[in-house]
Amino acid sequence: MRLSQFHLRTSKETPADAEIASHRLMLKAGMIRKLAAGLYTWSPLGLRVLRKVERVVREEMNAAGAIELLMPSIQPRELWEETGRWEKFGGQLLKIKDRKEAEYAYGPTHEEVITDFARAELASYKQLPVTYYQIQTKFRDEIRPRFGVMRAREFLMKDAYSFHLTDEDLAREYRNMYDAYGRIFTRLGLKFRAVFADTGAIGGSASHEFHVLADSGEDAIAFSSATDYAANVELAEALAPGKRAAATETMRRIDTPTQKTCEDVAALMGIELARTVKSIALMGVDAENNPQFVLALVRGDHVANEIKLAKLPGLAEYRLATEAEILEHLGSEPGFLGPVGVKPSVQVVADRAVAAMVDFVVGANERGAHLAGVNWGRDLPEPVLVADLRNVVEGDPSPDGHGTLGIARGIEVGHVFQLGRKYAQAMGCTVLDETGKAATPAMGCYGIGVSRIVAAAIEQNHDANGILWPESMAPWRAAVCVINPKNDAGVAEAAEALYRELNAAGIETVLDDRGLRPGVMFGDIELIGIPHRIVVSERGLAAGTFEYRHRAAAEAEQLSRADVIARLQATQPA
């Protein structure tokens, strides 16, 4: 492609409403243009990248044995009624009436349609296992579309659905898809993690999310330093620490006239925050379903985890206690609470880390006072209820027993689910099994946000000057830039020849023949993230070299024609 015959329109201005780097850079590079809230046109430049992602996804899905089909974007209400999702899916479902007042939705996902297809097309266990997929436009009516294509309303997705006679077959295909996803993100050149995930709204029994790692990611991920274990921070288990050490201090009262937080108390005392204990007053129910006051203890430097708290007996629907309830049960106002000397009606629950502490600091249940040097079994009874109540932190042992946890931020770009028989059952999808009896197949579903990957890749790969595309996603791998193409020294011809030679060698190359000033031209090529830049100039020609620079390199090099080609061939993606 010659840039003079392409549509490239970069912008120097930083768009006002773009909050994250990918949104900003996609607008500045002219990859997308906003049509309306959450609706974007992919410009010729943007579409080249989108198609690269699509191609890798398609090739790996095919290689994994999945079969491509194409379902309509518009789906009849009746199917969604069968699974109860017409109401349950919520406001993200864009509902539509046609000219005959029949109701439809613009598909945000296709479980209903594929299950309808399967119940008509699958008759026998001999047709199983089977995995269908499509790459198709979807719509979710986000309340607040933002971040460009990262959270657009109309977006491109790969969604796959598998059907199995047995749970073992489902588990096998789940692993197969899991592995294919790994190959996809590896081929795309992205740093990613597969994390254990909550199944959320789609439901089912097992699921992993695939996250592209980026500092701007919405999700915090805990991952093992030694294995491929990874989980959402909220879901990762904090293991019990080693045995409790021996007490060395006696319990004493500390005046804390205005110190109501662990941070303030630790600062006042000049001790580590990890020596303090936070007491959180909650209201749950007891075994007889009567209100139960609970004091949950986590270490001062830890964060209590709401999901884990809610798993404790009686706390499924807990709430924070009111000041009046706290006063009634502990005789104190908030800010000075603690587990020492509490009434039997107060249920104390200790995080595993707290249960292993010695010589710790807690509130004294008295305004302006804390207790230091507190020890279990001596100053208060050994905790009866000990559980994992907190978010993991960097350095915690990995729950799989290998290595320690690191924390990274991630952008969810893929999701694999074991759906089980929920949809097939609701929609009466059966096949005949080996004995001739109708059997409900188990299903898996496997999604990849194709358009979202483009934005996530930029979040992971950019600098102050623009995008740094991985080789496999770049609109072109190389740019041949012509300095002063209209002079007589033959630079235009030399550039043209190199451009042709590179493309003939299978290296997708663009020729910047726009005749712009070098600074403007280089700025564009950097902004749009072409990995390899080759400058053809009169001076270089005289010396028999081209100026080569990798997008991530600090300096340019002078290379011969053969070396340029060798350098590019060496980095050719699969």
Q: Which residues are near a second copy by CB under 8 A? A: 5-7, 9, 30, 33, 35-37, 39-44, 46-47, 50, 65, 67-76, 91, 94, 96, 98-99, 102, 104, 106, 113, 116-117, 120-121, 127, 130, 132, 137, 139, 141, 143, 153-154
Closer residue to a second copy (CB): 72 or 200? 72
Smallest gap, in angstroms, from Cβ of residue 115 to a second copy?
A: 12
Sequence-distant (6+) residues with CB within 8 A of 484 are 491, 537, 538
Closer residue to a second copy (CB): 122 or 389? 122
**CA dihedral for 376, 379, 385, 387, sign (positive or negative):** negative
Smallest gap, in angstroms, from Cβ of residue 42 to a second copy?
A: 4
Closer residue to a second copy (CB): 75 or 256? 75
Contact 318, 306 (CB under 8 A): no
Closer residue to a second copy (CB): 75 or 279? 75
Identify any residues that bridge with 224 across adjacent strands, giving them in sequence order.
Answer: 405
Q: What string of DSSP letters covers 546-570?
A: EEEEETT-SS-EEE-HHHHHHHHHH
Counting beta carbons within 10 angstroms of the beta carbon of residue 533, is it exposed (0 to 12), middle (13 to 18) or buried (19 or more)?
Answer: buried
Task: Tell me how far apart the terminal alpha carbons of the chain are, to the nearest angstrom.
Answer: 21
Smallest gap, in angstroms, from Cβ of residue 39 to a second copy?
A: 4
Smallest gap, in angstroms, from Cβ of residue 68 to a second copy?
A: 6
Pairing state of beta strands 347-351 and 385-387?
Answer: parallel
Closer residue to a second copy (CB): 113 or 483? 113
Q: CA angle, corner 265, sides to 260 and 270, nearest 5?
A: 165
Smallest gap, in angstroms, from Cβ of residue 296 to a second copy?
A: 38
Task: Please name the helix (run of DSSP H) or strand (run of DSSP E) that holds residue 231, with its range, or none.
Answer: strand 230-232
Task: Please name the helix (run of DSSP H) or strand (run of DSSP E) that holds residue 119, with its range, or none.
Answer: helix 111-121
Closer residue to a second copy (CB): 75 or 460? 75
Whole-angstrom distance, CA of residue 88 vs CA of residue 109: 14
Closer residue to a second copy (CB): 119 or 550? 119
Smallest gap, in angstroms, from Cβ of residue 137 to a second copy?
A: 6
Smallest gap, in angstroms, from Cβ of residue 239 to a second copy?
A: 44
Closer residue to a second copy (CB): 36 or 562? 36
Counting beta carbons within 10 angstroms of the beta carbon of residue 315, is it exposed (0 to 12), middle (13 to 18) or buried (19 or more)?
Answer: buried
Contact 223, 208 (CB under 8 A): no
Whole-angstrom distance, CA of residue 357 vs CA of residue 243: 9
Closer residue to a second copy (CB): 7 or 243? 7
Whole-angstrom distance, CA of residue 114 vs CA of residue 120: 10
Closer residue to a second copy (CB): 121 or 228? 121
Smallest gap, in angstroms, from Cβ of residue 127 to a second copy?
A: 8
Whole-angstrom distance, CA of residue 38 vs CA of residue 147: 9
Smallest gap, in angstroms, from Cβ of residue 519 to a second copy?
A: 20
Smallest gap, in angstroms, from Cβ of residue 141 to a second copy?
A: 5
List the alpha helices (DSSP H) in 204-318.
262-269, 306-309
Whole-angstrom distance, CA of residue 374 vs CA of residue 352: 16
Q: CA angle, corner 305, sides to 299 and 311, nearest 5?
A: 115
Sequence-distant (6+) residues with CB within 8 A of 270 are none
Of 394, 382, 293, 425, the C-alpha closest to 346 is 293
Smallest gap, in angstroms, from Cβ of residue 69 to a second copy?
A: 5
Closer residue to a second copy (CB): 160 or 283? 160
